[in-house]
Amino acid sequence: MDTLFNASSFTGYVYPNETIIPWTVLIVVYPYLTGLVAGAFTVSSLYQVFGFERLRPVAHFALLVSLCCMVVVPLPLLLHLGHPERAFNAMITPHTTSAFAVFAYAAAFYVILLLLETWFVFRPHIVHEAQQRTGLLGLFYRVLSLGSYDLSEKAMRYDRKWIFALAIIGIPGAHGLHGYVGFVFGSLKSREWWSSDLMPAIFLFSAIISGTALLVVLYVISCKLRRVTVDLACLKGMAYTLWGFMMFTLLLEGVEFASLVYRAREGIDVIMEFVKGPLVVPFFILQFGVGSVLPICVLSFLIWRGTSGNRLVTAVFASAFLVLLAVLMMRWNVVIGGQEISKTGKGLLAYYPPIIDREGLLAAGIVLITPFILLLGMVRLFWPWEEHTTSEYAVAG
């Protein structure tokens, strides 16, 4: 019952059925995770398809990050449903006019694609472990090898062709998967805050920067844990990618916000009240100021000065962390903010998420942590770092 009355206060004219905010913090987590999937896969594809050699140290790791996040993507939606076991009905009895129903097929297709590409990328590692290990773990790798231990140059060329083809298919798949999330919001004309043709593009570009920022943070942390030196060329490559896409993202968000405020439509008064009041801290300070403008300024200064060494690592790491915060706040401001403006255009609601509840902050935090727990296991099973794989597989091949 606590979830049903999560909007505990409102001002102005609000219909009784609008005192409830149906899409809660879990629906904030959902597009955030899909963004991490698309962004991480983009970094992996920059190497696999476009040959960005400086991103080679994180290319395989990015694929694992994308897979782990994608597996968890349906979880917030399932928790949000009153009967999650009924989710399969969307696939058994398809409803093609529903964007969320179509998502089930898109997500299933993309999971299969990620699994296939991951298998081809890590097949040398799987074969090596299958030949070296015994017991249950050895059986696990032997089953994954599908009985093929061929690591000849001909076989590896065949694998690389499949990796290239799957990566090409995955680029529009990943971007379309997250662009559709923006379409879900932007196509709802009943919500003044959401009704914008730029929403899919904003979600897409913010996805790329969030996935890239996550890889920067995880890569630096992994280097510290493995006690290896951070590859500065790789880090600079991700920093350039982050900086470039952030410029487009900030421009799109600024244009979208300016057009929303400029439109002289019914409801503009309450929107201006919303902008000047509840939105000041989460939108202007956290999302734009701390999470967007500050990282762009820092990265621009680093590029201009040609900074390197520990200063570069620290500054890029901090900037990436702030970008992750900005994208999370963007998801919050879109999902929750769009529902805090009444459909009448005459009132504002206030959302106070519960802490311990099926759709509370604790549940959302657990969902956000789950992909990284899976990633820890995946990294142990499929070692993605080149300092380990290059020498071993050269001998094995």
CATH homologous superfamily for 3-396?
Answer: Formate dehydrogenase/DMSO reductase domain (1.20.1630.10)
pLDDT per position as a tens digit, 5-27: 454 566 766 777 777 788 889 99
Are the CB atoms for 123 and 159 separated by under 8 Å? yes
**Contacts from 306-313 at CB under 8 Å and sequence distance 24+?**
308/232, 309/232, 312/232, 312/235, 312/236, 312/239, 313/220, 313/230, 313/232, 313/235
pLDDT of res. 397:
35
Q: What is the spatial distance between Cα 83 and Cα 57, in angstroms, rounded to a whole number?
A: 43
Which strand (E) or helix (H) includes residue 12? strand 7-12
pLDDT of res. 226:
92
pLDDT of res. 272:
67
The gap from C-alpha 373 to its chain's centroid, in whole angstroms, comes to 16
Q: Which residue has the higher pLDDT, 149 or 183?
A: 149
pLDDT range class, residue 1, cuts 50, 70, 90: very low
Indicate the pTM of the whole model: 0.89
Whether the predicted pLDDT of 379 surpasses 90: yes
Boundaries of every domain in the chain: 3-396
Nearest to 178 by CA among 215, 213, 205: 205
pLDDT per position as a tens digit, 185-231: 877 766 777 777 788 888 888 989 999 999 999 999 999 999 999 99
280-299 average pLDDT score: 88
